[in-house]
Amino acid sequence: MTAKKVTSSTLLNMKQQGEKITVLTAYDASFAKLFDEQGVEVMLIGDSLGMVLQGESDTLPVSVDNIAYHTSSVRQGTERALVIADMPFMSYSTPEQTYLSAGKLMAAGATMIKMEGGSWLCESVTGLIQRGVPVCGHLGLTPQSVHVFGGFKVQGRSELQAEQILEDAIALERAGIQLLVLECVPSSLGKKISESLSIPVIGIGAGPDTDGQVLVMHDMLGISANYMPKFSKNFLAETGDIRTAVTRFIDDVKQGVFPGEEHSFN
């Protein structure tokens, strides 16, 4: 672990050198400090807070103000890691709205923002980059579209759907995203997209061949109020200590032990 700040250039360098990237969600200063000290490269203030903190059945009720509050808290506990803030549901429906929402989250302490969606986002992505806001994309199972998908379902299993996700990923990279989260897709598609993009691809239920892995901290510690997703693992159960659990998560990702076949989709 180094005290040097993690930037988008750091993550790109890690991909080029074949070193896996570790990402955890964080929502407060105390856990952010713990994760930061253990060596997690990226902290994500996810709209998952709607489910794991607020007890909602999905992420849709989360507001920009909610994300901004928790981003500010995480920033206070973070010295080294890159801090990414989620843009919540319907906070980026037009470029103009996108800029205002992103500005609020950057002012709260984010160093990058994340948006769910495909090539329709390209205009907003380019506009954000021109205005000095780094962007992380999110494809595959995009939780804000849960009602369109008819539930939290694996995406990209058909050849047509897989090709569309790949095309969206390439379009978003061309528009300027510097990172991509790929959620709940077959391992073969996770591998293909990671190899097709020059930017890092962070998987969550996207198999072992992406450039890094992200988990919701409550899932990683086995304390989620709702359910444990197939792609997650309770690292606290096998360590008995939170710090050791985080270290095990980091080590298992770096060594290619996690995710295993049991955490992936065919």
Which one of the listed residues 56, 79, 167, 183 is annotated catalytic? Answer: 183
Tokens for 46, please give them: 């996810």
Beta bridge partners, 179, equal 136
Q: How many CA atoms lie within 13 A of 76 on its CB side?
A: 11
Q: Which residues are annotated as a binding site for 3-methyl-2-oxobutanoate?
A: 47-48, 86, 114
Own/partner pairs, 194-200, CB within 8 angstroms, 24+ separation: 196/166, 196/169, 196/170, 197/169, 197/170, 197/173, 198/12, 198/173, 199/12, 199/15, 199/173, 200/11, 200/12, 200/14, 200/15, 200/21
Beta bridge partners, 201, equal 180
Q: Is 183 labeled as catalytic in the residue annotation?
A: yes
Residue given tokens 């890092």 in the structure block: 200
Q: Which residues are annotated as a binding site?
A: 47-48, 86, 114, 116
Omega before 134 cis (within 30°)? no
Tokens for 5, please give them: 């700040």
- Largest separation between any pair of C-alpha atoms in the chain: 47
Q: Which residues are annotated as a binding site for Mg(2+)?
A: 47, 86, 116
The answer to whether 221 and 242 are in contact (CB under 8 A) is yes
Q: Which residues are marked as active site? A: 183
